[in-house]
Amino acid sequence: MPRFVRSLQWLRLRRSLQQVDLLVMDVDGVLTDGGLWFDQNGLMQKRFDVRDGLGIRLLQQAGLQLAFLSGGKGGATEVRAAQLGIQHCLVGIKDKPAALEQLQGQLGVTAASTAFVGDDLNDLAVRHQVGLLLTPADACLAVRRQADGVLSQRGGHGAVRELAEQILRARGLWTELSRKGWRDRND
């Protein structure tokens, strides 16, 4: 997609991005590239992008509530969630719509103020429960077609960071961060 078209897409989504109170992220294919590595003992390993992690920290400091919602499990997701201070790490979820509805109720967040980032068919099940459905550039075609926004970065390679920057731009917070830098305030 040409840069100009992507820019127009994000301008169109600006008001919706300003309204996001809860950002829910699928893990495999969004925060990771979707690959699974197994060591000689059969233990699963996943690769997470450090820039996505900083994007998550920036969103936390901007006041957004964040959650991981994944059908997978294996330990790496929980470890990464703990490192980033993600309080809502829902793994091994077979019914994503039910889990999302429960989380929204627990947090008192409406569908209109919820954004979801997903990459595959099981993520489409939450489409009608969120104000924004967003997807990495390498998501399956069906998700890209139904998404409100398609990120230019692939899952596990900066897609979440790109979204974080777009949300911060929409809220008028990015210019100062990009000029002065960021300090971890250890909230």
pLDDT digits (tens, 9 = 90+) for 130-142: 999 999 999 999 9
185 versus 158: which is more confidently predicted? 158
Residue spans of the domains in the chain: they are 3-69+77-88+98-120+131-174
Mean pLDDT (whole number) for 147-176: 95
Longest Cα–Cα distance in the chain: 49
Q: Specify the pTM.
A: 0.91
Mean pLDDT (whole number) for 108-124: 97
Which range is least confidently modeled, 118-122, 161-165, 174-178?
174-178
Closest CA relative to residue 34, chosen from 159, 147, 142: 159
Residue 147 predicted with pLDDT over 90: yes
- For residue 163, what are its two tokens? 């979204």
CA dist list (Å): 145 to 106, 119, 127, 149? 30, 11, 12, 9
pLDDT at 3: 52
User: Residue 81 contacts by C-beta under 8 Å, 6 or more apart in sequence?
Assistant: 68, 89
Give the domain 3-69+77-88+98-120+131-174 fold.
Rossmann fold (3.40.50)
- Tell me the average pLDDT of the chain: 91
Return phi, psi of residue 9, to 5°.
-55, -45
